[in-house]
Amino acid sequence: MGFNEKVHAFIAAKFYVHLTEQFGERGRLAFIHGTQYYAEQRGRRMAQRAIRDGNPLTYEVYKQYGEWVNSPEVAAEKGHTSEVVSVAPDSVSKITRCPWHSQFKEMGLVEAGHEYCKHLDNSICRGFNPYIVYEVPQTLHKSEYCLHIIRDAGLSPDSNLKKKMEYVKEWDYHCAHSYWSYSEVTAAIFGAEGEAVNAQVLADFEKEYGKEMADTLVTYRSTNFNIC
């Protein structure tokens, strides 16, 4: 197995486990903050590319500048399915199958998955343009489907939502970004105890996926994920 969506979910799940086990409610809040921090960095990179290309920071452009597409493994098993319910005035979609949901469920971590998904996409959008109102009132972890609502999205049936593939990142980048963003937040809040959590997550990762993949995460240590 190489890097993919489920590996990405594993990293977040392990941070949730160790943070809540070590620090209780403070750990849960740190996990939420780390999720938001990670996601907003992604959104800011998207905005930087859009501005560089001379495009406005609308929701249509947000869709064009997303940094990931499904991995071949997930695409082959149709592991990510969604349905557009409405285009205007609000963009509303339901997600009925998702590899992040599958991974959290396999690990028995419903609460972790719910907290992650409740805060992720709206935070990516906030990083891209904080004036776009993106709501996630329910997730697949506790409901029949995830519900994503973008208020006054400005879309029409003719909107161009095709992703710019030249800006899509590989999954090793996304996984490393997740690990180092949570690590930065965890160490900032909890100091040496937080550093111990970071080391434990990396050890868990190596046990699950092997030393080569763990070493790949480490190579991104000095990457500035705030910039495109």
137-193 pLDDT, tens digit per residue, is 999 999 999 999 999 999 998 999 999 999 999 999 999 999 999 999 999 999 999
Domain extent at residue 99:
5-218
DSSP state, residue 4: -
* Residue owning tokens 């868990």: 204
Total of domains in the chain: 1
In a domain, 34, yes or no: yes
In a domain, 136, yes or no: yes
CB 26 within 8 A of CB 32: no
Please give the model's pTM, rounded to 2 decimal places.
0.96
d(CA 105, CA 119): 18
Provide the token pair at 22: 């070590």
In a domain, 58, yes or no: yes
Helix 110-128 to helix 99-106 angle (10° resolution) is 150
d(CA 138, CA 51): 32
102-125 pLDDT, tens digit per residue, is 999 999 999 999 999 999 999 999
In a domain, 227, yes or no: no
Residue 75 has pLDDT above 90, yes or no: no
In a domain, 147, yes or no: yes
d(CA 62, CA 92): 15
Neighbouring CB atoms inside 10 A of 188's CB total 13
CA angle 58, 60, 64 (to 5 degrees): 110
pLDDT of residue 78: 81
